[in-house]
Structure 1
Amino acid sequence: MDTSFAEVVNRVISHYPLKVEKVYLLTNKGKKAVWSIETNIGEVIIKKVPFDENHIEFMIHAINYLRDNGIHTPGVIKNNSGKGYVKLDDEYFVVFEAVYGRSPEYEHEDELLMIMRGMAAFHQASKGIESPPKVRFPSFLLLKWKKNMRKMYGKLIRYKEQRSVANDKNEFDHLFLKHVDTFIKQCETALSMLNNPEFDKWVEETIKNKSLCHQDYAAANLVIGRDGNLYVFDMDSLTVDLPVRDIRKILNKVMKKQTAWDQQLMMKMMKAYQEINPLKKEQYQILAADIYFPHLFYGQVTKYYEKRDQKWALEKHISKFNDMIATELTKETVLQNFLNQIDEVILPE
């Protein structure tokens, strides 16, 4: 491997009661990197993390809190000074236990439902968490729902205004302008659905009681271990929020792989979640509002217009955009039917 990487790994491990035997670079994204290290006590994982000591301290505290409450996630190995991280040249590194297994697959229904139960257990286990002394919560998205939705809504309107008068429209622009009014209306509907006393009540309860969202509780960050348990990784983006954020994200990930929103599959997923961390009927209205907001459409629009992935050819952007539009356009009827049948999901008390 690159000698500079080897030097970094050896410098990090020198702070631990470990001896390096072999080093494998798994990913390198500049500010983030992950190595698998064979040591005298077995394999460990080193992560270079792009955030400050406060964020790392909270992440380690949260990992320990979740593990204490039954969540399967790799533990953080302490260095010779008893800390859970090392600072080298203004960069931070955390060493984790290694877990062996394979990623679950959405296409296998039993594994998809395992993901939903695992997510529900994660949300349940995180309840009541507080930050340690002198450590702040690094993220509190709970208080930003309406503000962030209005910001995204405003961006779509501005892009519509700009591209409507542009003289250099391409196929992506025409596709965007063809559908943007539909999705602007979806934004407006979602925002109106949040003008709901149940939303405000749930936010107030969560401010007091705290609970975490992972923000990417998805197959890429999960492993079915050799022991049969579901392990969750990558606690980099933990935030205090309603569990709805994680639920909406996994539903969007799964449904965009279908030809259209699948009502039966959504019902099965939510029944699995409800087994472990039951939500109230009124709280499912908040989930519906978040799903109704066109996150997939917005994400593809901003990826293209803000040039967040310049390696993509125009044709790839258009292909992905068509897929996102197709998914978004099929959700409205499914959501309404889901809410009409919500008593099938809510377990009797």
Structure 2
Amino acid sequence: MKLDNESNNYLSLGSKVLLSYDIKPLNLKMLQSKGLKTLWKLTYKNTPLCLKRLNQTMEEALFSVNAQIYIFNNGGMVPRVYPNAKGNFITEYNGQLFVLYSWVNGRDMNLENPKDLNLALQSLSKFHITSIGYVPPINSKTSSKLGNWPKQYTSMKNRMLKIKEICIQTPNNANYSSLVDHIDPIIEICDKTINLINSSSYSDLCSINQKESCLCHQDFGTGNVMLIDGKGIVIDLDSVTYDLPSRDLRKIIGKRMMQFNDYNINNIETILKFYEINNILSPKHREVLKIDLMFPHWFFGLIKNIHKSDKSISAQRICAISSFEQNKFSTLQKWL
């Protein structure tokens, strides 16, 4: 009964928000609710649409929603954003923010499938290209990671050192002891990577006006790129930020390396070949991508909350990810 009431409340909320669009929907369904972020599917004039409640401030939403509108108008493969009856693309209702999009009648792309991976990487490069030139509204909160990598690397390294000290103080915890045993080579990789990025072309690449930079998705992958009519549609642009295209590529390549324990440079080059069908990476962009792949992002991701989380991280897992990072660094160092 409680679930029925909750579902009815969501449907009632969606219907009330859609009045701002002068829409009386058919087949309104609540599809997903994760915290504040909620999705509804509806039909209006035989057209499927998606209503989304954002987990953002108005200033953040102004940046990401207008970025999506810019990319769409520039020929990018992203869902269309519809204005409400007052011409606003973001609707505020009871202090919450809502956006109405075209519904993507496609399927999730499986990035483990080579054909899907090819199309997805082409979609990503098209996304990057069509985002260049975006100028956000004055009253938005601009998101940019340009020039921040050395600072982020140092911050992650220092956080890992603090975690190491915390673990040293609890010697009877086997998982903590495993972290202490395996973290020093990781810190060494951090130091080498920081030196590499500081001596690379990174600062030159970032010394551009923001509108000359592409926007990175930051969460590109299965679930956020859909296949429709043989083309990839990029969805869920809430986290877009100005940055080098290698940011998105590093996450895709690194995740595959870890998932398959695969350090084969030819496989990385195949991924880049797919991407470069639409957007050729300069030698300088390739250089910083290689360096970013070297940094132990995945070790950091595993242990960053080891002393805060209720979930235990096994000593075996810590050992495995440490070995992965060291082997990855050694292979990529030769490639660089």
Give the TM-score normalised by the residue count of structure 1: 0.88
Three-state SS of the structure 2 residue aligned to 1:142 is coil
Q: What residue number does 2:215 align with?
A: 212
- Whether the 8 Å contact between 1:206 and 1:242 is mirrored in structure 2 is no
1:245 pairs with 244, 247, 260, which one? 247
Give the drift of 1:203: 0.7
Alignment of 1:177 with 2:180, yes or no, is: yes
Alignment of 1:59 with 2:60, yes or no, is: no
Q: What residue number does 2:274 align with?
A: 272
Q: What residue number does 2:162 align with?
A: 158
Q: Indicate how the Cα distance of structure 1 residues 322 and 89 shifts in structure 2: closer, same or farther if over 3 A, else same.
A: farther
Give the drift of 1:322: 5.3
Q: Give the Cα separation in 1 of the matches to 2:200 and 2:263.
A: 28
Match runs of 1:138-153 below 5 Å: 138-153=142-157
- Whether the 8 Å contact between 1:206 and 1:241 is mirrored in structure 2 is no
Q: Indicate how the Cα distance of structure 1 residues 274 and 137 shifts in structure 2: closer, same or farther if over 3 A, else same.
A: farther
Give the drift of 1:334: 2.9
Q: Give the Cα separation in 2 of the matches to 1:148 and 1:306.
A: 21
Alignment of 1:79 with 2:81, yes or no, is: no
Q: What residue number does 1:293 align with?
A: 295
Alignment of 1:203 with 2:213, yes or no, is: no
- Whether the 8 Å contact between 1:256 and 1:323 is mirrored in structure 2 is no
Q: What residue number does 1:284 align with?
A: 286
Match runs of 1:126-141 below 5 Å: 126-132=131-137, 134-141=138-145
CA RMSD across the alignment: 2.0
The residue identity in structure 1 corresponding to 2:162 is R
- Whether the 8 Å contact between 1:45 and 1:98 is mirrored in structure 2 is yes
Q: Give the Cα separation in 2 of the matches to 1:197 and 1:260.
A: 26
The residue identity in structure 2 corresponding to 1:288 is K
The residue identity in structure 1 corresponding to 2:38 is A
Unaligned stretches of 5+ residues in structure 1: 340-349
2:331 pairs with 331, 334, 338, which one? 334
Identical columns (%)? 25
1:7 pairs with 12, 16, 24, which one? 12
- Whether the 8 Å contact between 2:217 and 2:248 is mirrored in structure 1 is yes
Q: What residue number does 1:21 align with?
A: 26
- The number of residue pairs the alignment matches comes to 331
Three-state SS of the structure 2 residue aligned to 1:257 is helix
Three-state SS of the structure 2 residue aligned to 1:58 is helix
